[in-house]
Amino acid sequence: MSAIRTTLLATLFTMTTLLSPAGHTDNDDAEILALYQGWIRAVEGSDIDGYVGGLHPDVSLRPPGVPGLDGRENYREFLGPVFQTARYEITVDVPHTITMMGDAAVVEYDYTIRRVVDTSVEADLPEGALEGEATTSHYIDIVAKDDTGAWKIRLHSWSMTL
């Protein structure tokens, strides 16, 4: 496990033990789960606007082994060749678990993402994009409310599993 991931998990653990779930409702869980269902539909439909609509304006993408990127518009640019060159099918291997931390939450889940390449399209994939035919990963995201009070993905990170 990388030092950054270890530090992140230790910080999150500390925060979850110190913060009370005050203000947390079952509606928050439902809204967060709906966010992820919309995200799955966007990925499987190659819908960049739908995907980006689930992101916090200050989102950070942290794929394994590469520096990643920050900001919704940079993420939009990243997705262009990703969705242009392939379509995706998602299998939820381990359902989403939500740990509330005040006005934010940690969401963990496992997906297998099948990538079906469109051989008629040529484009260079950005660093950090999934390239295999199928990838199984454990995801750890942080979600937070945006200025409108809607839950959005603030940090998207994962590690590949076997």
Say how far apart CA 162 and CA 134 lie, in whole Å: 11
Q: Which residue has the tokens 């942290």?
A: 62
For 129, the 3-state DSSP assignment is coil
Q: What is the pLDDT along the chain (162 residues), one digit of tens a residue?
A: 454 444 444 444 444 433 434 455 779 999 999 999 999 999 999 999 999 999 999 999 999 999 999 999 999 999 999 999 999 999 999 999 999 998 899 999 999 999 999 999 888 999 999 998 999 999 999 999 999 999 999 999 999 986
Q: β-strand 104-117 against 69-70: which pairing, if any? A: unpaired
Q: What is the pLDDT of residue 162?
A: 64
pLDDT at residue 5, rounded to an integer: 46
> Which pLDDT does position 26 carry in this prediction?
79
